Amino acid sequence: MEKRVKFKGLWLPILLVFPQFLITAIFFFYPAGQAIWQSLFIPDPFGLSMQWVGLGNFEFLLADRYYRASFFTTAVFSILVTVVSMGVALYLAVLADRLVKGSGTYRTLLIWPYAVAPAVAGVLWLFMFNTRVGVVTWYLGLLGYDWNHVLNEGEAMGLVVVASAWGRISYNFLFFLAGLQAIPRSVIEAAAIDGAHFWTRFRTIVFPLLSPTTFFLLVVNIIYSFFETFGVIHTITSGGPQQATTILVYKVYADGFVGQDLGSSAAQSVILLAIVSLLTVIQFKYIERRVHY
Amino acid sequence: MATLTLNNVKKSFGKTDVIHGISINVADGEFIVIVGPSGCGKSTLLRMVAGLETTTSGDIQIDGRRVNDQEPMDRDIAMVFQNYALYPHMSVFDNMAYGLKIARTPRAEIEERVAHAAKLLQLETYLQRKPRELSGGQRQRVAMGRAIVRKPSVFLFDEPLSNLDAKLRVQMRLEIKALQRELGVTALYVTHDQVEAMTMADRMVVMNGGIADQIGEPLEVYANPATEFVAGFIGSPPTNFLSAEILGQSGDAKIGVRPEHTRLSDSGSLKARAAYSEALGAETLVHLKCADGTQFTVRQDAASMIPQEGTEVGLDWDPANEMRFDSSGRRC
């Protein structure tokens, strides 16, 4: 059943949509437009004048070895963050779904990390893995492992992935749990009577019925890993060592605000915008076909 | 094909007892209907047989082997759920073939068995459709088909018709019964609808508050209800109950008389005032009120006289049709 509200005039609907439109215009359309505009110029070192370079910034970027490396880093980082955060969340949700007693407590506790801001989460993990005073580093040292994410590129990547995925698990867990609880119990029971053991039931019944949730989370998590992980990377590695954790959004910041190359930074954010739009379109166009609603 | 035996089966949730010890022997190929009001434990009992609920004490035996501790899949049963519980993302064919695929049945045999069931249920043209593209009656058939293809020893039905409209319910009732006869499979069928119980059952179990009040053939239960509850629950409109007092008798017994056994006559010893009547076409139900406020219903043929509202009439019946119940509700 669909409830539709019909407005008589034109003014009320416009008035109701206006605040949202205003916010989107000021905080999205205006800066995005500015970025596109700035990407066509190179400002002088003092920011007093701008020189028209057309697509020069883009040409320079695409020829840049470091920029291309950042693409690869971003791909690795996003895939790892998405897979880790969704995989762990799904595992926890399946366990919590099976609980009869105390599921409320588990749910609450598992949701808490979501309330931690990415930068704070970053600092938290940084302290635990600090190369001199970190608790985990110390225990790893006892086990004979010399942890140093400041020097080791793989360890640095691992740490930012874990720190980024951690806060995200809560969010994904919530959605997966809701999705699992929306599956009628009798369908699972019917499968049990049909002879399917737990893993078979999960593979053939639960996971396909969960696919709308999974698809939604996939889109949201990839976008998250592209943008909102900035705080984590900034606090833990600042993009290092040797730019091993410089994902695209961090490079926008590093080149623009640290390197003061505003033209290149603007061009990078335009490319980033295009990539995310493209990814989302691809996801909706191709993956959604395989989703059972 | 198998026998099913329940031996003093009990179920408690924590400290609450919901099934207080039920015993029944179901013969091979027999159609047993468990009937009772909501909350009487009939669905719980069925789910215990299916293995979806644990059994607190007592034995459940299928073909002589104790199945209490077996998983549902090992009990050789099939179940049809109230909401059908079809797999929404699979076609009708895949829904029916699911159990066979898991059992690693050869492809050719799966196709043969599904085709056979589809033919039996007139679903041949719908095999490639998804459940959401089917009507309620068709979904119901798919749920039955899923049970049939597995060739189980025992069929379990959990209120399978309650989501269908009245007309379809009557039709599916006949179809299920005919199908069960044709397959010769033992069946346990749960319903709250006494008409379904009367029409489908070889024997019925009337449950009330976790106790089987009476087990017997439908007409036997109808003619000789063991308790006041059974007399009131089986039959529509229900049995009229009168206190012994109003009939000028001593004791605290209750007298039950079925509406069709009562006559309206001026000579009747019991007087009542006609409150309202429901004309159903072939018959009319006359509702009356006795002096002490007891409600009384009489079934009259369409041809007979229907008293005006408010007029006083006499009620009369053959004493042989009287059913007496003691204060605990038992027949005496």
Quick one: pLDDT at residue B1? 65
Average pLDDT over residues B143-172: 89
Average pLDDT over residues B258-280: 85
Distance of CA B77 to the CA centre of its chain: 20
Quick one: pLDDT at residue A3? 61
> Other CB atoms closer than 10 Å to residue B290's CB: what's the count?
17
Contact at CB, B78 and A193, closer than 8 angstroms: yes
Quick one: pLDDT at residue A2? 54
Quick one: pLDDT at residue A256? 82
Collapsing DSSP to helix, strand or coil, B19 comes out as strand
**Chain position carrying tokens 């909102």:** A228
Quick one: pLDDT at residue B216? 93
Give per-residue pLDDT as tens, B75-102. 889 999 998 899 999 999 999 999 999 9
- In chain B, % of residues over pLDDT 90: 40
Residues of chain A predicted below pLDDT 50: 1
Quick one: pLDDT at residue A292? 60
A&B contacts, CB < 8 Å: 59
Contact at CB, A195 and B99, closer than 8 angstroms: yes
Mutate to test the interface with B, among A183, A189, A194 (most CBs of B within 10 A): A194
Identify all chain B residues contacting A200, using CB atoms and an 8 Å cutoff.
Answer: 102
Instruction: Among A189, A194, A208, select the one facing B102 at the smallest CB separation.
Output: A194
Complex ipTM more than 0.85, yes or no? no
User: How far apart are the CA of B199 and the nearest CA of chain A, in angstroms?
Assistant: 27
- Fold exhibited by the domain A65-290: MetI-like fold (1.10.3720)
Tokens of B49: 């047989």
User: How far apart are the CA of A198 and the nearest CA of chain B, in angstroms?
Assistant: 12
CA dihedral (A227, A233, A239, A241) in degrees, to 10, reads -150
Instruction: Among A186, A194, A208, select the one facing B98 at the smallest CB separation.
Output: A194
Collapsing DSSP to helix, strand or coil, B35 comes out as strand
Give me the domains of chain B, ranges plus CATH numbers. Answer: 4-231 (3.40.50.300), 238-325 (2.40.50.140)
Report yes or no: A210 at the B interface, CB cutoff 8 Å: no
Contact at CB, A196 and B83, closer than 8 angstroms: no
Quick one: pLDDT at residue A289? 67
Q: What is the DSSP string of A108-174?
A: HHHHGGGGS-HHHHHHHHHHHT-TTT-HHHHHHHHTT----TTT-HHHHHHHHHHHHHHHHHHHHHH
Report yes or no: B188 at the A interface, CB cutoff 8 Å: no
H or E element at residue A186: helix A185-193
Measuring CA to CA, which residue among B44, B22, B10, B35 is closest to residue B206? B35
Identify all chain B residues contacting A184, using CB atoms and an 8 Å cutoff.
Answer: 83, 85
Tokens of A284: 């909706």
Average pLDDT over residues B114-137: 89
Quick one: pLDDT at residue A84? 94
Give per-residue pLDDT as tens, B315-327. 888 888 889 888 8
Give per-residue pLDDT as tens, B213-259. 999 999 999 999 999 999 999 988 889 998 887 777 777 888 899 99
> Of A113-117, B192-196, B198-202, which gets the smallest average pLDDT?
A113-117
Report yes or no: B73 at the A interface, CB cutoff 8 Å: yes
Give me the residue spans of the domains in chain A: 65-290
Quick one: pLDDT at residue A291? 64
Biggest alpha carbon–alpha carbon distance for chain A: 76
Instruction: Among B77, B82, B88, select the one facing A292 at the smallest CB separation.
Output: B88
Report yes or no: B78 at the A interface, CB cutoff 8 Å: yes
